[in-house]
Amino acid sequence: MKQAHWLLALSAGALLSSAAASQSINASGEETAQGDVSVTIYNSNRALIQDVRQIDIDRGRSRVELPDVSASISPQTLSFYAPRTTIIEQNFDFDLLTPGKLMDKAIGETVTLLRTNPATGRETRERAKVLSTAGGVVVQIGDRIEVLRDDGLPVRVIFDEVPPNLRARPTLSVNLESERSGRRPVSIRYLSSGLGWSADYVALFNEEDSTIDMQGWVTLTNNTGTTFHRANTLLVAGDPTTNGRGRRGFGNMGAISIGTEAADRERLGDFYLYPIAERTTIANAQTKQVSFLDVQAVPARKVYTRNVGWLANDSNPVNVFSGISFSTSRDQGLGDALPAGTVRFYQRDSQGTPQFIGENGLGHTPMGSELLLQTGSAFDISVQAEVESREKITSAEWERTARYRVIEDGEVTRQYDVERPKTFYRTTMRYTLTNAKAQSVEVDLTQSGLMRYWYAYDYRITSEDIEGEQINADTRKWIVPVPAEGKRVVRVVYETRY
């Protein structure tokens, strides 16, 4: 509905009736009814709000209104406590006072239209009954029906009162039974969505010294519809189960090996706690960053990697990935457990100015872990994988490479199982690595896809130009030196059942 040129106003009495009974002015000059606020924020866009307020409560039955709770509150999670008081009923009023809502609630009611003649400045008043707000505001003035149009003529709508179920701010209403009257502390505790946090890391890589300087930042995001003033803030790193389901987090992306060192941080059950040192105001619709990690000269190295799928036949060379490898250990690393987030890497250019070189995600990572985070693709280094030859071999040739097992302290000293498949293959893979840099490099080359289901567990690597390392049943790795401004060809022969 177009409402660009008609305005809304409330009578003085209506404004007074909508004001909260207990409010204060905080240090920033904003009005708030909140008291001593503590906020515990989880990675899952959920937070625990605890608020202790000083409230006047009458003896017997009374109704207490608590404005400035989260507009995204989960009412079923609310806990209310006041000394010598019993709670009878609670209501969460989240129908907030807006021009559109105010007009919607006025359907069937009479309002005052104040029109101003732009030529003369003369004001005229008319009483009008609101008939509809669907697609525009339709009113009845006397015997005529009129639409409040966007025609450039200013119209102000004056309401006699605020509808009782509209609130200027999200409000919790509680009906109480109290043994005595007087002012006392009231504690409310509830869960709310819309308030979350993540970790962001800024890493400056020094290639000459093979080190990184890393800063960790907590990024708070508040979309609850409410500002939390001077809150004592605690961050929880972990994935608590909600609604009977565990949250799927980042996993352990980028981890070469998972650490086994306990970080010097407070824990809550199986979660790490990251407290914000000072009270902070978390404004609605705001993103706030607070530092929690600052470490210099951590050993790190640049790594080039390429993973080749089984029987890959590249028509053109493929650029390798570049990445930064470092540790979170206590002695030779960052010395902390790292909550999930994004790591952004920078490197100084010839003028000494830090330039962005890439970013990657990081999972919840224990202290002592070895990490390799990809930052991009290398311009000058490539690998071309090709099937150089592939031929069928007989079962006799297959059996000649069968692995024998020695049985100690038994009658049989050698034993092998004769393979029965009728078809076997010998495949020669050729990997051509090129390097256009002025310095020699090492490339971590991996071949995956070696294990194909139950019928193909037994594969053999009968020849390799460089001795490799078996990462697992599916993947083998070679560290290949490539000369400056040169290339290197590596051949590996596989015997397989597929």
3-state secondary structure 328-355: CCCCCCCCCCECCEEEEEEEECCCCCEE
- CATH for 300-326+379-496? 2.60.40
Please tell me the pTM assigned to this model.
0.70
Check residues 54 and 411 and name the one with the higher pLDDT. Answer: 54
> Residue written as tokens 């009412």?
75
Rounded distance between C-alpha atoms, residue 74 and residue 415, angstroms: 67
pLDDT in tens, 47-83: 999 999 999 999 999 988 888 899 888 888 888 899 9
Rg over CA atoms, the chain: 35
Rounded distance between C-alpha atoms, residue 457 and residue 463, angstroms: 18
- What pLDDT was estimated at residue 120? 81
pLDDT in tens, 98-154: 777 778 878 888 888 888 877 787 888 889 898 988 878 888 888 899 888 655 567
What percent of the chain is helix, strand and coil (3-state, nearest 5)?
A: 5, 55, 40
Rounded distance between C-alpha atoms, residue 40 and residue 191, angstroms: 9
pLDDT in tens, 420-445: 546 789 999 999 999 999 999 999 99
Domain residue ranges of the chain, discontinuous segments joined by +: 33-96+166-193, 300-326+379-496
Please state, in angstroms and as integers, the Cα–Cα distance from residue 469 to each residue in 187, 279, 473, following that order. 60, 52, 11
Q: Is the pLDDT of residue 259 over 90?
A: no
Average pLDDT score over residue span 329-335: 91
